[in-house]
Amino acid sequence: MNILVLQHLAIEHPGSLRDLWAAAGHRLTAIELDAGETIPPLEGFDLMVAMGGPQDLWDKDALPWMCAELAAIRHWVADLGRPYLGICLGHQLLAEALGGHVAPMARPEVGLAEVTRTAAGAADPIFATLPERLTTFQCHGAEIRDLPAGAVILAENAACPTQAIRWGHHAWGLKFHVEITETTVADWQAIPAYAASLREALGAARAATLVKEVAPLLPAFRASAAAMDRALQAALAPERALNAPLGGTRAGGYHVGPGSDRSPRLGHRRPHRPHDCRRDRRNPRPGARGDRASGRRRHGALRRALPQGGDRGP
């Protein structure tokens, strides 16, 4: 599987998920957007992943690369109906790209926190594999204030009611850091702005001991990441089968020419519309745009991967 990873700070990488994907033989293409790298043509990728970062969505008009990223996410998720996973900032980007609204929290959520799975989460192919209550690592001062139409909440807590969401049957966003590793907290504390945020939220004494506080929970964090990844790969299997090679070959499951933008199943060329940051409140319904025939096939296949009964989302 070819995975496109959108990063907003070098130290905010997929962590334990990256290790799992490498061990499984998946190919990762990491794009460091804050360093001036640009998103490549999306053909050949099977999964888009957007990571965390220090940027804020309300500053997007001053960050041209973020406008381009929002456009790419919207095109990938809403127009093409392709699989997406967003973590922290990537979670917020998913909501904003699809017409939701992200705003500052009254109080930042930093450090260890428990989240609770919702009824929709219990019926979700990924969150159904996790305990009803899950200890997580958090580091954010923003939240999804308004969900995009078609989104369901999979996990919540008192500090942030939108800890995890799913849009349609193929796009997930997590506010918490499931990818945390042995070096994550120390890496973040080496960044002056992050270190200041940790001290402000936790106090100097607790911030200084955060590495030790997190260490005993690392095996559980890795187990949660592994369970979520197994469930994600299983949920995406029908999507990948639909993108089996049709003549030519490429690692992503199909063959297209460079610079084109086609539905891999039908070979239908579509323009990639630039994202207008001034018009980001549009609310597409899942499958409402793009190649409708291929979108219905993908969403139908992913629906069949969902468990029967319960809240299955839009």
As annotated, the active-site residues are 88, 177, 179
Type of residue numbered 130 = L
Whole-angstrom distance, CA of residue 283 vs CA of residue 298: 20
From residue 198, give the alpha-carbon distance in Å to each of 112, 113, 208: 12, 14, 9
Helix (H, G, I), strand (E, B) or coil at 166: strand
Whole-angstrom distance, CA of residue 38 vs CA of residue 30: 10
Alpha carbon 214 to its chain centroid, in Å, reads 23
> How many C-beta atoms lie closer than 10 Å to residue 57's C-beta?
23
Type of residue numbered 183 = T
Type of residue numbered 100 = G
Type of residue numbered 245 = P
The 10 Å CB-count burial string (b at 16+, else e) for 98-135 is: bbbbbeeeeebbbbebebebbebbbbbbbbbbbeeebe
Give the residue among 286, 234, 243, 284 at the shortest CA–CA distance from 266: 243
Structure tokens at 99: 């017409």
Alpha carbon 80 to its chain centroid, in Å, reads 16
Length of the chain: 314
